[in-house]
């Protein structure tokens, strides 16, 4: 079979396998995203070895994540996000400090190097909003206050996580470039606030011009251009591309209904998003956990990762009530691809060992699998209070 045939086979297995397991999980009233993740584990190199992550499939998966967050942004109005701004900021801030301290102290207790300990702490910091956003969207609760706090905190969380990663990367090279760090921080914060405060107004000024275009679905075409453009801008600034996609959707949210943007974006998202979740599962190497001492380290780091977000983010959201605070804490637990990115940077810089890399990767997967069913169980009880 030639390359094209092998690629099509892998795409077929990823999409069909992910959707079949998602359907099974949904029949048992569990989030379909868990089925897609497990489909990746089964199809990946660890078990059946039918799917092998490649540059092309990883690119497709990244686009899937971009469109997922874009559709989530279309359902989130800027003014709704600003209403929970101070709570989201508190959730993000405390939710960064607590996990970092727990991860750092544990690695120092087991006598790992300072730089390696800092990298593990950094891996516990940032939240992968893609998983939580999918669960919130599937449950139909994106308009609730809890969902808005989670999404707002996730944007801030990514900015803070990016700053922490920049610091630990500099430490691994022997020194911290404070000027470069300050520039990146200002760019990230300024970019996000600019879109949140003024994005909708700027889009509104172009509405007369859009009405004169002759192309079919011209408004949707321009929305995709904005989505990809802001995603690219996010990467240049140092943030994840999915944050730019979310901000693009946020800027267009006030006009999404008028131009049927959600109606056009959903089919694309439904096609592409499964590749993101299946490939995330396919990157799990189950064989590495059988190395001596690794399984215990994985268990402890996973526990600290979960407890750190539950306590940190939960404390930041206590003003919304215990149930809602618990829901927000669980929603901020998944590390997903963000944890994998941190682990990859550490391995590339030769500041963490292959064993610690395995631990961080497993932590990312476990926290990603943990959050969806627990969040889904909590949502019905907290939804009424959150609205």
| CATH number assigned to the domain comprising residue 197 | 1.20.1530.20
Report pLDDT for 265: 93
Distance between CA atoms of 22 and 42, rounded to whole angstroms? 13
Report pLDDT for 383: 46
pLDDT digits (tens, 9 = 90+) for 343-374: 666 766 677 777 787 788 788 778 877 888 88
**Cβ atoms 125, 332 nearer than 8 A:** no
**Cβ atoms 71, 266 nearer than 8 A:** yes
pLDDT digits (tens, 9 = 90+) for 103-137: 999 999 988 888 788 888 888 887 877 777 877 88
Does 81 have pLDDT greater than 90? no
Higher pLDDT, 174 or 139: 139
Neighbouring CB atoms inside 10 A of 289's CB total: 17
Mean pLDDT across 332-344: 70
Mean pLDDT across 204-208: 87
Model confidence band, residue 381 (pLDDT cutoffs 50, 70, 90): very low
Neighbouring CB atoms inside 10 A of 287's CB total: 10
Helix axes 261-282, 55-74, angle to 10 degrees: 140
Distance between CA atoms of 216 and 93, rounded to whole angstroms? 44
Distance between CA atoms of 338 and 54, rounded to whole angstroms? 18
Model confidence band, residue 141 (pLDDT cutoffs 50, 70, 90): confident
Distance between CA atoms of 280 and 276, rounded to whole angstroms? 6
Assigned token pair, 162: 């990016």
Helix axes 336-348, 145-172, angle to 10 degrees: 0
Does 294 have pLDDT greater than 90? no
Q: How big is the CA angle at 30 (ends 282 and 372), to the nearest 5 degrees?
A: 60
In this structure, what are the phi and psi dihedrals at residue 216, rounded to the nearest 5 degrees?
A: -70, 135
Does 181 have pLDDT greater than 70? no
Report pLDDT for 174: 60
Q: Which of 124-133, 154-163, 311-320 has the lowest mean pLDDT?
A: 154-163
Report pLDDT for 217: 86
Neighbouring CB atoms inside 10 A of 179's CB total: 8
**Cβ atoms 373, 34 nearer than 8 A:** yes
For residue 4, the SS3 value is helix
Report pLDDT for 177: 65
Residues of the domain holding 318: 3-386
Does 99 have pLDDT greater than 80? yes
Assigned token pair, 239: 């943030």
Structural domains in the chain (count):
1
Alpha-carbon dihedral angle through residues 332, 352, 37, 157, given to the nearest 10 degrees: 20
Name the average pLDDT for the chain.
Answer: 83
**Cβ atoms 327, 378 nearer than 8 A:** yes
Does 261 have pLDDT greater than 60? yes
In the 8-state DSSP scheme, what is residue 52? -
Mean pLDDT across 50-69: 89
Percent of the chain with pLDDT over 90: 28
Report pLDDT for 382: 44
pLDDT digits (tens, 9 = 90+) for 84-98: 788 988 998 899 899
Q: Which residues contact 117 (CB under 8 A, 6 or more apart)?
A: 103, 104, 107, 108
Does 165 have pLDDT greater than 70? no
Mean pLDDT across 314-323: 90
Report pLDDT for 384: 44
CA separation (Å) from 245 to 51, 72, 78, 305? 27, 9, 14, 26
**Cβ atoms 21, 36 nearer than 8 A:** yes
Dihedral of alpha carbons 347, 277, 251, 78, sign: negative
Report pLDDT for 386: 44
Q: Which of 157-171, 232-246, 278-292 has the highest mean pLDDT?
A: 232-246
Report pLDDT for 338: 62
Report pLDDT for 175: 61
Distance between CA atoms of 54 and 128, rounded to whole angstroms? 21
């Amino acid at each position: 079979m030639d390359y094209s045939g092998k690629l099509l086979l892998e795409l077929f297995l990823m999409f069909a396998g992910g959707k079949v397991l998602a359907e099974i999980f949904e029949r048992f009233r569990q989030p379909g995203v868990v089925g897609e993740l497990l489909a990746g584990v089964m199809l990946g190199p660890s078990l059946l070895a039918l799917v092998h992550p490649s540059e092309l499939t990883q690119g497709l998966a990244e686009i899937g994540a971009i469109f997922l967050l874009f559709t989530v942004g279309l359902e989130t109005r800027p003014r709704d996000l600003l209403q929970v701004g101070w709570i989201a900021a508190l959730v993000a801030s405390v939710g960064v400090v607590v996990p970092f301290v727990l991860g750092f102290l544990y690695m120092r207790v087991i006598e790992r190097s300072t730089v390696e300990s800092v990298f593990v702490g950094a891996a516990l910091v940032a939240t992968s909003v893609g998983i939580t956003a999918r669960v919130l969207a599937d449950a139909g609760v994106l308009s609730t206050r809890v969902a808005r706090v989670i999404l707002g905190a996730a944007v801030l969380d990514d900015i803070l996580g990016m700053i922490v990663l920049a610091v630990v990367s500099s430490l691994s090279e022997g020194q911290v470039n404070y000027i470069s760090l300050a520039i990146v921080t200002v760019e990230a914060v300024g970019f996000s606030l600019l879109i949140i405060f003024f994005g909708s107004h700027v889009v509104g000024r172009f509405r007369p011009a859009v009405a004169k275009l002759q192309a079919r679905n011209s408004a949707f075409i321009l929305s995709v251009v904005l989505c990809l453009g802001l995603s690219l801008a996010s990467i240049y600034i140092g943030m994840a591309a999915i944050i730019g996609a979310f901000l693009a959707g946020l800027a267009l949210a006030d006009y999404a209904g008028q131009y049927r943007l959600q109606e056009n974006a959903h089919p694309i998202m439904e096609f592409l998003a499964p590749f993101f979740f299946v490939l995330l599962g396919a990157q799990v190497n189950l064989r590495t956990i059988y190395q001596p001492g690794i399984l215990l380290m994985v268990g402890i780091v996973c526990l600290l990762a979960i407890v750190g977000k539950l306590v940190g983010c939960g404390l930041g959201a206590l003003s919304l009530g215990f149930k809602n605070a618990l829901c927000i804490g669980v929603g901020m637990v998944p590390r997903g691809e963000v944890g994998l990115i941190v682990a990859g940077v550490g391995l590339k810089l030769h500041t963490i060992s292959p064993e610690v890399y395995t631990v961080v990767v497993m932590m990312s997967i476990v926290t990603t699998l943990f959050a969806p069913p627990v969040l889904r169980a909590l949502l019905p009880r907290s939804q009424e209070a959150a609205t």
